[in-house]
Amino acid sequence: MAILIGGAWPYANGSLHLGHIAALLPGDILARYYRLKGEDVLYVSGSDCNGTPISIRANQENTTVTAIADRYHTEFVDCFHKLGFTYDFYTRTDAQHHHQSVQDIFLKLLDNGHLYTKKIEQAYCTVDEQFLPDRFVEGICPNCGAKARGDQCDNCSAILDPLDLVDKRCKICGTEPEIRETEHFYYEFSKFQKELEHYVEHAEQANAWRGNAIQLTKRYLTEGVPDRAVTRDLPNGIDVPVPGFEGKKIYVWIEAVAGYYTASIEWGKQHGVAIDKWWNAETTSYYVHGKDNIPFHTVIWPAILLGLNSEALPKHIVSNEYLTLEKRKLSTSQNWAVWVPDILQRYHPDSLRYFLTINAPETRDADFSWREFIYSHNSELLGAFANFVNRTLKFIEKSFDSKVPQTAVDKGMQAQIVELYKEVGQKIESGSSKAALDTIFEFVRAANRYFDDEKPWITVREDVAACEKTLATCTLLIQNFAVLLKPFLPFACEAIEEMLQIRGEAWAPQLNLAEEVVNVAPLYERIDVKQIDEELEKLAANEK
């Protein structure tokens, strides 16, 4: 079975924070799980390197758009690698292949008759000699009188047209822009209204989208999807490949969401593989992102695919709610955020993966607090899981000369863990990583109770056969945890496999006992709770 997984494209004008990872992590869990199941997984994403905010930042720092994009793309790649993300292809939207494929898509939409041109008025700066993107125009909000950007007023949330602003100014040089006529391509989104309505109804019946995606998409469709300009007068981006439109760029609405497809094309070329099986009506696809990205994946991208006569519409929408920080909304401008490069310097990637999954903002906002994070590591990840592994394997090392007793295991415990594969698998497939991990950890706690009840530290002296059975059973459970937890805690699972000299490559019950243990070492270290206050102080000190 072909499984396409598309992770949202982070915008390359600033570092990743935990909110990004909370939204993107379900994609890696799905990819790892389906690969273990033996499916043909294609997991793609990349850095979004075009658009206005990067231009603004480049202007502010007196550098180039490419320099900014390079800096953050490199940082993203490093963070994803350290977190164990297993993208088959992680690219960027300023790559040559992406430009080429997007231009092909644009021309096909034009050929298919879904693009038309329209003359509109737009702000033009005679000093900078360019049309100004919406966000480059600043002035007074006509609605509330506050200072506002051309696209939206932060004070009253009104969606604005830059020409509506009072006392308009160019953000780059501060002079008043002229109003000039310019011509743009519009996409006939309205023509796909009916098809999109059917599509959402079908998704709702199939229970294939998160509730927030269904609700938000229905609201957009009730309001009616208007035709939108899909080209812009922008300083950077993908050129409109039509004579007479030189200097104009294809807008992010077409260009960025098309990245899933263009990345697939390029990956196929590099590997000599036809990508059709990941892009047809039967393909199981997952689109993984935060809730602010929902309409791009449930309205814009499907409408473009329909315009291309493609039947590969997104199947599953895995759209997490937001992550708050210490009960407050994350704010990058106020530096109220935990930055990924920073937290990875001091904490284990599994700790992050565990916390952001077991507390995932799946159906409502979830909170990251340093206290909860450190306690969840110490009491659950280390206290329940890692300790079970360590106490079992250490016992074997010490009392059985590192040889796993080759004896019959407890049938009840074995039956229970075998049962888990189906239950956990179904939960992962339905996009509920949190419930899946919860289910496994419930059994981790049961495994600890089993160890306690069997008291091998007593039977080792009084009833060796019973002791051997206990340790054989616990070892078998550990071998199965190393598979069941692989999508969630890949680093610990790898360490277990090294200690037991095994390799679990398939999502299937492991029933052959490992033979010996080598180099038994704790999976994780305890985190000093003093760090809670240190982290909170640092957070407060860095807030702007």
Task: Write out the residues near Zn ion by the rule CB under 5 A.
Answer: 125, 127-128, 141, 143-144, 146, 153, 155-156, 158, 170, 172-173
**CB 134 to Zn ion: min, Å:** 14
- Which lies closer to Zn ion via its Cβ, residue 156 or residue 511? 156
**CB 169 to Zn ion: min, Å:** 8
Backbone dihedral angles phi then psi of residue 366, each to the nearest 5 degrees: -125, 160
3-state DSSP assignment of residue 269? helix
**CB 53 to Zn ion: min, Å:** 17
**CB 128 to Zn ion: min, Å:** 4
- Report the chain's terminal Cα–Cα distance, integer Å: 49
- Which lies closer to Zn ion via its Cβ, residue 144 or residue 415? 144
Residue 223 CB burial class (10 angstroms; 0-12, 13-18, ≥19): exposed
**CB 131 to Zn ion: min, Å:** 11
DSSP string across 252-268: HHHHTTTHHHHHHHHHH
- Which lies closer to Zn ion via its Cβ, residue 143 or residue 439? 143
Cα–Cα distance, 317 to 433 (Å, whole number): 14
Residue 128 CB burial class (10 angstroms; 0-12, 13-18, ≥19): middle
Pairing of strands 2-7, 40-47: parallel
**CB 136 to Zn ion: min, Å:** 8
Cα–Cα distance, 293 to 52 (Å, whole number): 17
Cα–Cα distance, 444 to 36 (Å, whole number): 21
**CB 145 to Zn ion: min, Å:** 7
Cα–Cα distance, 125 to 138 (Å, whole number): 12
**CB 208 to Zn ion: min, Å:** 38
- Which lies closer to Zn ion via its Cβ, residue 53 or residue 383? 53
Residue 220 CB burial class (10 angstroms; 0-12, 13-18, ≥19): middle
**CB 137 to Zn ion: min, Å:** 10
Nearest residue to 474 (alpha-carbon basis) of 489, 494, 453: 453
- Which lies closer to Zn ion via its Cβ, residue 154 or residue 423? 154
- Which lies closer to Zn ion via its Cβ, residue 136 or residue 209? 136
**CB 483 to Zn ion: min, Å:** 55
- Which lies closer to Zn ion via its Cβ, residue 177 or residue 302? 177
3-state DSSP assignment of residue 68? helix
- Which lies closer to Zn ion via its Cβ, residue 53 or residue 241? 53
- Which lies closer to Zn ion via its Cβ, residue 142 or residue 268? 142
Cα dist. 479→355, 412, 436, 457 in Å? 23, 16, 18, 22
- Which lies closer to Zn ion via its Cβ, residue 158 or residue 344? 158
Cα dist. 4→7, 39, 531 in Å? 10, 10, 40
Residue 20 CB burial class (10 angstroms; 0-12, 13-18, ≥19): buried
**In the chain, helix, strand, coil percent, each to 5?**
50, 15, 30
Contact between 19 and 365 under an 8 Å Cβ cutoff? The reply is no
Give 410's contacts (C-beta < 8 A, 6+ positions apart). Answer: 450, 469, 470, 473
Backbone dihedral angles phi then psi of residue 517, each to the nearest 5 degrees: -110, 140
- Which lies closer to Zn ion via its Cβ, residue 80 or residue 124? 124
**CB 132 to Zn ion: min, Å:** 7
- Which lies closer to Zn ion via its Cβ, residue 155 or residue 331? 155
**CB 162 to Zn ion: min, Å:** 13
Contact between 99 and 238 under an 8 Å Cβ cutoff? The reply is yes
Q: What is the DSSP letter of 48?
A: B
**CB 49 to Zn ion: min, Å:** 23
- Which lies closer to Zn ion via its Cβ, residue 143 or residue 402? 143
Nearest residue to 431 (alpha-carbon basis) of 23, 101, 12: 23
Only one residue has tokens 């075009």, namely 50
